[in-house]
């Protein structure tokens, strides 16, 4: 299973952009890069995903390196509600799609 590596924790000031990095050096050509976030005592919620090109949605942007060995989740203007654990995971486009989570990055937002 391809693995991802993220920093344990990060801090950011409210109303500033946040860049959350993820390394996935063993990614295969059929792996999609997904991001989820989890608030305390809740189930994870989907944030964004991509394959090769950068992606934008109402929640965030995903920047994928040209060699696909790393990616960055960008929150354009952090709010206190963005404080959560962010998980970067790889999903393989075949039947053995296990959805394996790493430890994630705990994001602290400073008011």
Residues in contact with another protein by CB under 8 A are: 30-32, 34, 36, 41-46, 49, 51, 85, 87, 91-104
Tell me the closest approach of the beta carbon of residue 16 to another protein, in angstroms. Answer: 26
Q: Are 17 and 35 in contact (CB under 8 A)?
A: no
Nearer to another protein, 66 or 94 (CB): 94
Q: Is the dihedral of CA 76, 74, 45, 82 positive or negative?
A: negative
Nearer to another protein, 8 or 111 (CB): 8
**Residues contacting 77, CB < 8 A, separation 6+:** 15, 16, 17
Nearer to another protein, 15 or 98 (CB): 98
Tell me the closest approach of the beta carbon of residue 45 to another protein, in angstroms. Answer: 7
Nearest to 86 by CA among 101, 97, 68: 101
Nearer to another protein, 100 or 110 (CB): 100
Tell me the closest approach of the beta carbon of residue 85 to another protein, in angstroms. Answer: 8
103: left (phi over 0), alpha (psi -120 to 50) or beta: alpha
């Amino acid at each position: 299973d391809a693995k991802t590596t993220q920093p344990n924790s990060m801090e950011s000031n409210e109303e500033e952009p946040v860049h959350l990095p993820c390394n996935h050096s063993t990614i295969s050509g059929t792996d999609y890069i997904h991001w989820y976030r989890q608030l305390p005592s809740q189930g994870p919620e989907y944030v964004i995903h991509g394959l090769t090109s950068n992606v934008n949605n109402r929640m965030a942007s995903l920047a994928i390196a040209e060699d696909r060995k790393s990616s960055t989740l960008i929150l354009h203007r952090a709010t206190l509600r963005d404080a959560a654990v962010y998980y970067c995971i790889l999903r393989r486009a075949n039947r053995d799609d296990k959805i394996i989570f790493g430890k994630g990055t705990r994001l602290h937002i400073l008011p």
